[in-house]
Amino acid sequence: MKIFKVGDTQLAVCEACRSIKSMTFALRDVPFSDGSGIVKNVLVGVCDTCDYVIVTPQQSAPAIKRELDKQRKPLEARVPAHMVDILNLASAELGATPDFSKVLIKYYVHTLSLNEKKALHLEKYLQNDLAKGPSQKRISLKGIQVYDDLNILKERSRMESTTDVLKAVVINIYEDFFDKPKKGVIETLRGLASASF
């Protein structure tokens, strides 16, 4: 892959000028193609005649992807209130604040997505009494990784609903922390919690 520097020039076909023009690489704020947002300070090739953005080189793709992910809507699920309490209690068990709940869920979604057997077992948690109750609170998750992990987990667990998957994950967390405590898992998470505060 060729890496371009600010100030590099080359000839390119400018769609706006409808001819071959000299183009210079520069940092620009670029709108998404669907107009839903803007990525600031990306390296692009700009037409020297009319200022049209002619190319966005490959090297700018990761930064653009990050911005797209940032502006993506969070994953949301409505859950019974006691599920939020379980996450808060588990976080407290790790010496963390309730803010750690999101990391906790992401960690479980990730590790479960890598474990076919555990993923298949996940749906059984929905038969637990803790799966019941009116859904009056919300779990909201943001991040690039969790979208991908959740999609894999849905496939592997044969569950279609994001809400069901997240409910089952919370009950899995309850089991690992309070019902049949798994020392190894808790220790690993304690390490993670200490690094994030």
CA–CA distance from 79 to each of 89, 119, 150 (Å)?
A: 16, 20, 17
Q: Least distance in Å: CB of 41 to Zn ion?
A: 21
Scan residues 34-73 and list those touching Zn ion (CB under 5 A): 47, 49-50, 52
For Zn ion, the closer CB: 50 or 61 = 50
Q: Least distance in Å: CB of 4 to Zn ion?
A: 18
Name the region of 74 (left: φ>0; alpha: ψ -120 to 50; beta: rest): beta
Amino acid letter for position 80: P
Q: Least distance in Å: CB of 45 to Zn ion?
A: 11
For Zn ion, the closer CB: 13 or 92 = 13
Residue matched to tokens 């692009």:
44
Q: Least distance in Å: CB of 23 to Zn ion?
A: 8
Does residue 17 touch Zn ion according to CB under 5 A?
Answer: yes
Does residue 147 touch Zn ion according to CB under 5 A?
Answer: no
For Zn ion, the closer CB: 47 or 77 = 47
Q: What is the DSSP string of 73-129?
A: PPEEEEEEHHHHHHHHHHHHHTT--GGGHHHHHHHHHHHHHT-HHHHHHGGGGGGSG
For Zn ion, the closer CB: 17 or 120 = 17
* Dihedral (CA of 60, 61, 62, 64) sign: positive
Judged by CB under 5 A, which of 9, 10, 13, 16 binds Zn ion? 16
Does residue 14 touch Zn ion according to CB under 5 A?
Answer: yes
